[in-house]
Amino acid sequence: MNFLKNTILYLGLSVVLYSFPANILFASAIGPIAYCTGAPNDNGTCNADDCHNSFDLNSGNATFSITAPDTYTPGKTMKIEVSFLDSGRERHGFEMTALDANGNRVGTFKKIGNTTQVISPNDYRGLEQADKGKYIEHAFKGIKKKSWKVKWKAPSGAADPITFYAAGCEADGDGNSTNDYIYTTTAETSSTP
């Protein structure tokens, strides 16, 4: 009986000890924690302490950008592209949100394909239920990409302009958070007259 108890205890401890570091190690590859876009009232970016902080923010040689239409139609969906240019790094990722002129998170993001994902509320990334659909990021299948297209449904009413905020990671692909560059960028759109 002691052998059975010890075996069960050993297996339980092994699962806990081996799965916890795996979640930490692959957290950025499967998507960063929520609220890391560099937008006002967010928690900064992944260029924070104990994360991708080897270099100053926006200090790499790549160009990180958001391409969005200059105008939107309230209640309609449009496509937005987030991309890196001139990057020689192995892995890339991003997180994006949209704020109106009053600082409210607005619109709803939808993924295109399997290289992006809308952050789910109440999971390990810490998104609050009130912000469901307000943040989008790379998915694990998107880390080898340098650009991603997403959909964004404009709100029916918001204070213009709408500003998209994104933070991007240009990683060396070695599986840890050192020697990676973090960038931020914005793009604006306003409703059609």
Q: What is the mean pLDDT of each successive set of 10 residues along the chain, which is 193 residues long?
A: 46 36 46 91 79 84 97 97 94 96 97 96 91 96 96 94 96 85 96 86
CA distances from 65 to 31, 94, 109, 143, 173 (A): 18, 10, 17, 16, 21
Residues 6, 90, single domain; the answer is: no
Per the structure, how many domains does the chain have? 2
Q: Find the domain containing 70 and state its range.
A: 31-191
Alpha carbon distance, N-terminus to C-terminus of the chain: 77
What is the per-residue pLDDT for 176? 81
Rounded CA separation 164/95 (Å): 10
Residue 12: helix, strand or coil by DSSP?
helix
Residues 116, 141, single domain; the answer is: yes
Residues 72, 141, single domain; the answer is: yes
